[in-house]
Each structure stands twice: as structure tokens, then as C-alpha cells.
Amino acid sequence: MIDFPIAKINLGLNIVRRRADGYHDLETVFYPIPLKDALEVQTMDEGFPSATDCDIKVTNINIEGNEQDNLVVRAYNLIKERYDLPRIHTHLYKGIPTQAGMGGGSSDCAFMIKLLDRMFALGMGDTEMKDYATRLGADCPFFLMGVPAYAEGIGEKLEPIGLSLEGLTIGIVCPHIPISTKEAFSRIKPRQTEVKCREIVMQPIETWRSRLSNDFEEGVFALHPEIGLIKQKLYELGAVYASMSGSGSSVFGLFRNPVDLTGLFGDAFVYTAKL
């Protein structure tokens, strides 16, 4: 069975307080975009010599570290604690850049949960799948829904909103600059917002530039000015709104008209699509 995990962008991202447990409460709007990975699962032959119940092959983008720490494998292992799952082979083709602020790993995890439920007829309902997703990552539950949503808490408190960017073109630039989420948070000064991003995004997109902010940008742009220059360039190319997504390093622009970013940003990953 195969499925196609989607990416997301953040429309506004405000860090409003530091919690007693060391995490941060935030306010953001998650918006799904058509940039995708491909996730394929097949059962493993009984005699196949594998040291693990879920082996994984990742292609197109190299991911460092122990493959058994991949969120896809962790999702399988967590669900196997309750359900009698067979051993499986997993192939993950990465089309979504890693450490980019677009939720690729979380999406892979959420889609693995849904895929296992369908493939092996586990009968998990939405509540159970959300519980597994929340245990694996704060923004994983969003990818179970896959519709625009306002998020609070650490990203797990979700409220679908009637927002559509249909007809706009999105352009994404992701430089080869890994951003540590821990480091990005260390440069944040939490603050309460006067107007929540949920209200701002329901206003005309032309008003977003002066009102819709990502609190990570100030610290990340100070460390890596070239990322800030990407945002500036997208505006120069005609974006009606541009922002870093998540804690970076990807920057997206929303355009009224088609745009071609090929060759404009060196060796950075670029992607455009009509929403």
C-alpha cells in the first residue's frame, strides 16, 4: 500500500508563553500544501532475515541517524504495542526537505498511522489515531486532518478553519541551512498577541504583510541573514505575502500570478505549485 504525506506551511507563528514543562505554547495556522513524500508499506516474508520488525529505506534525501529513530518506524512500534502487526518493509521517498519547517517528518508519521489502520483493518477511530500522533509529535495530529486549522497549545489543539488559498501560486525556497529547533526556541521571547493569527488570515491577503508574523524570523534571520534575503527577494518578485515556515529554514511566498523561481536562489531547493 502506498500513500503520499503532504507538507504544510505556517500562516503566522506566535510563541505566547513558556510552560512549566519546558515546552512553549504557540498560536499558528497550519495550511496543507501539495508538496509530498511517498510512503510505501508491504508485508515482510516470514523467512526474511531482518533484525527489526519494521525496516525502512529512505531515498532521494539522506537522513542521518539511526533509521529506527525515524518517526515512521516509531509509529509502527507504538501501534504494535497494542495490535498484532506483521513485520513490514517500508520505503520512504522524501520529496519534502528535512529541517525545513514544513512538517515532513510529522506528516510521514501521521500518514503511517493512517496507512497501518487501513492496510491491516485495525479499526482505529479518529480519537485513537490522534492519541498516537500526539505522543509522537506536537504537529502530527494536524496531518491526520489535512485541512487548514488553527493550532494552540504545543500545536496539538486544533480547530479547522474555513480558509482557502485556492488559485494562488506558492513558491518555496529552502536553502541548505539546517535550523536547530532547540536553538530557534532559545532565541524566542514569548509574548501575548493582540490579535490572533486565526483572525488575521480571514482578512484580505494584502493585509497580512504588516500583521501576520512568525516569531522565529528575528532570531533566525540574525543568525542566517541569507534566509531573510530570500524573503525580501520573494517580495521583490511580486509575492503578496512571504514568510518563513515554522522555525525554518524554508521561506514561502504567495503570488497572485504564476512565478518561476528556477535559478534565482543558487543551489537552494525551490518548488512552485498552484494551490
Please check whether residue 57 is in contact with residue 92, taking contact to mean a CB–CB distance below 8 angstroms: yes
Answer yes or no: pTM beyond 0.85. Answer: yes
pLDDT of 9 reads: 98
Average pLDDT over residues 104-120: 97
pLDDT tens for residues 167-201?
Answer: 999 999 999 998 877 788 888 888 889 899 999 99
- Please determine, for residue 26, whether its predicted confidence score (pLDDT) is greater than 80: yes
Residue 174: helix, strand or coil by DSSP?
Answer: strand
Highest mean pLDDT, choosing among 14-18, 81-85, 151-155? 81-85
pLDDT of 269 reads: 97
- Please determine, for residue 22, whether its predicted confidence score (pLDDT) is greater than 80: no
Residue 171: helix, strand or coil by DSSP?
Answer: strand
pLDDT tens for residues 232-267?
Answer: 999 999 999 999 999 989 999 999 999 999 999 999
45: how many CB neighbours lie within 10 A of its CB? 10
- The mean of the pLDDT values for the chain is 95
Q: How many whole angstroms separate alpha carbon 244 and alpha carbon 132?
A: 28
pLDDT tens for residues 48-73?
Answer: 998 999 999 999 998 888 889 999 99
Residue with cell 529512505: 58
pLDDT of 176 reads: 92
- Residue among 151, 201, 168, 171 at smallest CA distance from 15: 151
Which residue did the predictor score with more confidence, 64 or 129?
A: 129
pLDDT tens for residues 132-152?
Answer: 999 999 899 999 999 999 999
Catalytic positions: 8, 139
Average pLDDT over residues 219-226: 94
